[in-house]
């Protein structure tokens, strides 16, 4: 079956569209880490699943880096090449189809790192070299005021949890389940969202 057209996305074809992105683009390098981008996203989803997370949180873990592929989505075409805030772009391209708890985890996964660096002394030591490097480009640890306002997000716990898995899902010696294993999870989240819209 041909992949859905980016101009023509709906609740009924968004999961197939994302599957196609994983299939075509997933083997790309993940910014200096020893795993590919799809291995990384799948390992994060597996962490969520292993801890008994809800469908929404598994979906959030799986999709948190979808922003690296936003130029696949028609609405983001104008911003092609401007990937300095992949997390915001990623949330924007999926927000028509997924609930806020999912898009918040995507949108704030970089801020969550900045928040945890400011509030959890043990956290910084767990970051990979590539993640420490990007932290500096991303503004470094949050100030007290930034952390205070960030903590007001009602989805804070989920956002921080996805971030923790983001930092873990970089193991080159581990094979996570394939995308197909998670497609039904995404489908349930999207269809629930469609039914409530």
Binding site for Fe ion (CB under 5 A): 65, 166
Of 16 and 168, the one with the shorter C-beta distance to Fe ion is 168
CB of 74 to Fe ion, least distance (A): 24
Considering the complex, what minimum distance in angstroms separates the CB of residue 8 from Fe ion? Answer: 28
Tokens of 170: 């970089």
Distance of CA 39 to the CA centre of its chain: 13
Residue 165 C-beta: closest distance to Fe ion, Å:
9
Nearer to Fe ion, 65 or 111 (CB): 65
Distance CA 165, CA 167 (A): 5
Q: What is the DSSP letter of 73?
A: S
Nearest to Fe ion of 65, 104 (CB atom):
65
Q: Quick one: 4 or 161, whose CB is closer to Fe ion?
A: 161
Q: How many CB atoms lie within 10 A of CB 32?
A: 11
Shortest distance (Å) from residue 104 CB to Fe ion: 15
C-alpha triplet 108, 113, 119: angle, nearest 5°: 115
Residue number with CB closer to Fe ion (13 or 124) = 124
> What's the CA gap between 163 and 177, in Å, rounded?
20
Tokens of 190: 């999207």
Q: How many CB atoms lie within 10 A of CB 8?
A: 9
As a residue count, the chain comes to: 197
Task: Provide, rounded to whole angstroms, the least separation between the CB of residue 151 and Fe ion.
Answer: 21
């Amino acid at each position: 079956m041909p992949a859905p057209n980016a101009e023509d996305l709906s609740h009924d074809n968004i999961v197939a569209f994302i599957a196609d992105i994983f299939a075509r683009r997933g083997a790309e390098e993940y910014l200096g880490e020893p795993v590919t981008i799809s291995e990384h996203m799948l390992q994060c989803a597996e962490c969520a699943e292993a801890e008994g997370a809800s469908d929404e949180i598994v979906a959030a873990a799986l999709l948190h880096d979808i922003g690296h592929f936003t130029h696949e989505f028609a609405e983001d075409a104008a911003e092609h090449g401007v990937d300095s805030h992949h997390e915001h772009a990623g949330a924007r391209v999926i927000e028509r189809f997924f609930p806020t708890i999912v898009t918040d985890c995507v949108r704030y996964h970089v801020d969550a790192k900045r928040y945890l660096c400011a509030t959890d002394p043990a956290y910084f030591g767990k970051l990979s070299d590539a993640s420490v490097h990007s932290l500096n480009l991303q503004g470094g640890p949050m100030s007290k005021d930034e952390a205070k306002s960030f903590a007001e997000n009602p989805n804070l716990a989920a956002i921080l949890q996805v971030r923790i898995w983001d930092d873990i899902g970089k193991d080159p010696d581990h094979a996570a389940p394939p995308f197909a294993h998670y497609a039904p999870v995404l489908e349930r989240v999207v269809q629930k969202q469609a039914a409530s819209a």
